[in-house]
Each structure stands twice: as C-alpha cells, then as structure tokens.
Amino acid sequence: MLVDEVTAERFASMPYDLVDLPATLPADRQAGPGVIDPGIGDLAYVLFTSGSTGEPKGVAIEHRSVANLLDALDEVLPRPEPGRAERWLATANLCFDLSVVELFWPLTRGIPVVVAALESLTGRVQGGAAFLTETLTDGRITHFFVTPSLVQLLLRDRKLAAAIRRLRVLILGGEIVQPELVAQLRPVPHVFNLYGPTEGTVATTVHECTDRDVEYVPIGPPLRGIDVRVVNEDGVDCPAGEPGELLIGGAGLARGYLNDPELTARKFPVLGHGENRRRWYRSGDLASIGADGVVRFHGRIDHQVKVRGARVELSEIEAAIRSVPEVDEAVVLPIPDRSGRVTGLTAVAKSAAADLTGAAILAAISEILPWYAVPGTVIVVPDLPLAVSGKVDRQAVERRLPELAPAPAGG
C-alpha cells in the first residue's frame, strides 16, 4: 500500500506492506503538499469502451460528472438505515464504469463494500465461485448492482435465489430488464432499472420497478443535473411516445474521447441557438419519452436492419421471443449474403425447459410479429455466453452459430 507519513500511521496495525512513496522520491521532488486537491474540471478517470462498434475508445470523465452522479443517486437510492448493518457487494471489473457507483457511492455514504469476482460465475475466473456464493448467502449483503443476465443465472440456484430476494436494494443495468424478471424479484424492497452509457458517467436515468411494470420496464426519468431529448433523423424533437435517438446533456457528459477530437466532435455535437446552444451526446440508442417525462428504451439504432424490404428492430423481435413462457433471454442475428445484404434472421433463445422447441417459439411470435420480422430459425439453448461485463456476448453467440444450427434433414 502506498502511504505518506500521515497515512502510514493509520495503516500501521494492518497486515499490509507499506511503501512510503514521498520518502522514495529524490530530495528535490519531496517538497510541496502531499495531497493535491483536484478541481471539478480535472480528469477523474479514463475508461476504454468499444460499445457496439468494436473499436476501443477512451472516455474521459471529469470530477464534476462523478460528483453529480453520486449526489444525484442520493435522491434515488434509499439512504442507510440507522442501526442496520448494511453491506454493498461490489463485483464489477474495474474496467467497467458501474464499478464507479458500487465503490464510491457506498463508501462515501458510510456503507462497507465487499469485493468479489463475479466473473467466477461465468467461468472466467477460477476459485472465486465458492467465496462469492458464501458472501451472498451469509445474509449480510444488502445492496447489489448486477446485469439482468447474471441475476437470471443466480436465480437458478436455490440458495443464491433466496439470498437475492433477501436484499434491500438491487440495481439492474447494462441490458433490457423484462417484466417477468421484476416479478421474480418482488420480495426485494427496492429494485432499480439503471440506464446510462459510459459517456454519460454511468447513470443517465433510473427507474424504481413496481408491480405496474407489466408490458415493459421503463428506464425512468433523468437523474438530477441530466437532460435528455429524443430526436428523429432530421434532428427534430419527437412528440411524446414516439421513438427516436436519445440525446444526453447536462452535468454527466464526458469531456470526450481521449486523443480523438474528430470522434468527440461527431458524438458530442454542440446543438441549438443562442442561450439554448450546448453540448449533447448522441447515444445511438432508440428511446421514447412519455408525457410524464419517463423514458422507455427500445434498443440500439445500429440494431435496425432492412430485411425482406422492411426495416426491423432486432431488440423488438428479441422482446417478443422473451415474452414466450420459459424463455429467459434471446439474441436475434441478421444473416447476410456475400454482398452484405441481409436476407434473413436467426434467433437463439435461452431456456431451461427441455421440452421447449424452436418451432413452438416461432408459432408463438408469429402471432404478434409481422411476417417479415419473424426469424427463419429459432435455436433453443440452455445458456448464452456472457461477456466479462455480465451482458450477453452477442459476438460470441454469432461465432457459435454454425455449431448451434440444427443439422439439415438427411445430413
């Protein structure tokens, strides 16, 4: 542990190897204050994210954005209860921005944090599953931030499912939350659906789930200090309830992309006139804003494809498949020909039901989707590969598609 003469005394009784960093510096560099007080416009961190493009880019976040995030969450998340021992289970890889919430919000609000490797449950980290299972099931964890895919994985285990339902606060993020999952989590007093790109400093909108979330689960109103708007292809604001691209503005905006001014200018345009002229982030997400100001997430704009002469939204097809009983998750992939033109769709559905068939799913979704949006094939699998972030790994599903596809008849 790196210390100075002040912090060395605090950690002297703890089982750490202490390194007095100032003492190791040359004499001409030891002068001056040992602690630098950052300004709100100083850089807090840089996180590299590929998003849906596959190209890594460094997102530069300033202290002002992190401070706004933590203060805004105070107005949404329940405060610590006096006399109650609370603990936050932090499982996110530090390369992902939700770690900013699960480390800094609880620690600055007096809630202890237990750190564990959630990747152990996805097979990416060996030896950590037993510790994580014990940590969750010993009854002391009260707060947990996790993706819907990993919650579904945890709910398969009886002991882990019981532990999840004993939580006080469960935050879901990173993927679309389905009403069926909310229903399974009903014993949890506070279940939140959190939405936000890295470029918006972790959280843009938050919705506390209720029994009224039957048809869909909204992503909620924007946090304090954050502004959102939905625009059409011409950049004109959409009427209430009409889907368009979600733009994000306000205190949560990143400084931009590290060493990439061209991409920064394209993704963070300055829009408006006069006093209304300001920076916005083009999220690439398809959303709508209701008359009450609550935002609904519809999917990614780059997940729209043209097939059979019509434009379809892959996330809407996936939602239709997830609405079929016994289906937990779904991925719909476009099938291109040699020229790159999309000629059809294939779906992979995750289900633990041994008797559920692709034909049954096709029959069910054919009743609710237009003919051109119905995939040619639905493959049922017991599990879908997860990325380190806990989200479904769409690229891994696409790579495995040839081995998942049923063999041709008579082959």
> Do 180 and 104 sit in the same domain of this protein?
yes
> Do 336 and 379 sit in the same domain of this protein?
yes
In a domain, 410, yes or no: no
In a domain, 7, yes or no: yes
In a domain, 8, yes or no: yes
Predicted confidence at residue 93, as pLDDT, reads 80
In a domain, 409, yes or no: no
> Do 273 and 180 sit in the same domain of this protein?
no
> Do 331 and 288 sit in the same domain of this protein?
no
Which of residues 188, 209, 224 is at a domain's end? 188
> Do 317 and 351 sit in the same domain of this protein?
yes
The Cα 241–Cα 254 span in angstroms is: 28
The model's pTM: 0.76
CB 174 within 8 A of CB 145: no
What would you measure as the largest C-alpha separation in the chain, in angstroms?
A: 81
Predicted confidence at residue 309, as pLDDT, reads 65
- Residues with Cβ within 8 Å of 182's Cβ and at least 6 positions away in sequence, in order, are 191, 209, 213, 217
The Cα 103–Cα 133 span in angstroms is: 20
Give φ, ψ of 323 to 5 degrees: -75, -15
Predicted confidence at residue 390, as pLDDT, reads 77
Could you tell me the CATH number of the domain that includes residue 323?
Answer: 3.30.300.30
Beta strands in 156-204 (DSSP E): 169-173, 190-195
CB 170 within 8 A of CB 192: yes
Give φ, ψ of 142 to 5 degrees: -115, -25
The Cα 22–Cα 144 span in angstroms is: 37
> Do 65 and 200 sit in the same domain of this protein?
yes
Q: How many residues appear in the chain?
A: 411
pLDDT, tens digit only, all 411 positions of the chain: 777 777 788 778 777 788 886 666 666 555 555 556 778 999 999 998 865 445 679 999 999 999 999 999 999 999 887 778 899 999 888 888 989 999 999 999 989 999 886 655 554 445 556 777 888 888 899 999 998 888 988 898 898 999 999 999 999 998 889 899 999 999 999 999 999 999 999 999 999 999 999 999 999 999 999 999 999 989 999 999 999 999 999 999 999 999 999 999 999 999 988 888 999 999 999 999 999 999 999 888 877 787 866 778 888 899 899 999 999 999 999 988 776 778 889 999 999 999 999 999 999 999 999 888 899 999 999 999 888 777 888 889 988 888 876 655 444
The Cα 199–Cα 267 span in angstroms is: 10
> How many domains is the chain built from?
4
DSSP string, 237-295: BPPTT--EEEEEEETT---EETT-HHHHHHHS-EESSGGG-EE-EEEEEEEEE-TTS-E
The Cα 407–Cα 152 span in angstroms is: 29
77-to-70, 163, 170, 218 alpha-carbon distances in Å? 10, 20, 10, 17
3-state SS, residue 130: helix
> Do 83 and 177 sit in the same domain of this protein?
yes
- Residues with Cβ within 8 Å of 141's Cβ and at least 6 positions away in sequence, in order, are 87, 88, 89, 114, 135, 163, 167
Which of residues 277, 300, 323 is at a domain's end? 300
DSSP string, 13-30: TSS---EEHHHHS-GGGS
Could you tell me the CATH number of the domain that includes residue 87?
Answer: 3.40.50.980
Could you tell me the CATH number of the domain that includes residue 214?
Answer: 2.30.38.10
CB 311 within 8 A of CB 286: no
In a domain, 74, yes or no: no
**Exposure of 200 by Cβ count < 10 A (0-12 exposed, 13-18 middle, 19+ buried)?**
buried
The Cα 113–Cα 103 span in angstroms is: 7
3-state SS, residue 150: helix
386-to-28, 394, 396 alpha-carbon distances in Å? 51, 8, 8
Domain that holds residue 356: 308-404
In a domain, 351, yes or no: yes
> Do 199 and 210 sit in the same domain of this protein?
yes
> Do 162 and 239 sit in the same domain of this protein?
no
Beta strands in 41-91 (DSSP E): 43-49, 57-62, 88-90
- Helix and strand numbers, DSSP H then E, in the chain: 12, 22
Which of residues 250, 272, 300 is at a domain's end? 300
Residue type, 118: L
CB 142 within 8 A of CB 163: no
The Cα 25–Cα 8 span in angstroms is: 16
CB 188 within 8 A of CB 170: yes
> Do 247 and 265 sit in the same domain of this protein?
yes
Three-class SS string for 307-365? ECCEEEEHHHHHHHHHCCCCCCEEEEEEEECCCCCEEEEEEEEECCCCCCCHHHHHHHH
> Do 33 and 43 sit in the same domain of this protein?
no
> Do 250 and 168 sit in the same domain of this protein?
no
Predicted confidence at residue 339, as pLDDT, reads 65
Predicted confidence at residue 128, as pLDDT, reads 55
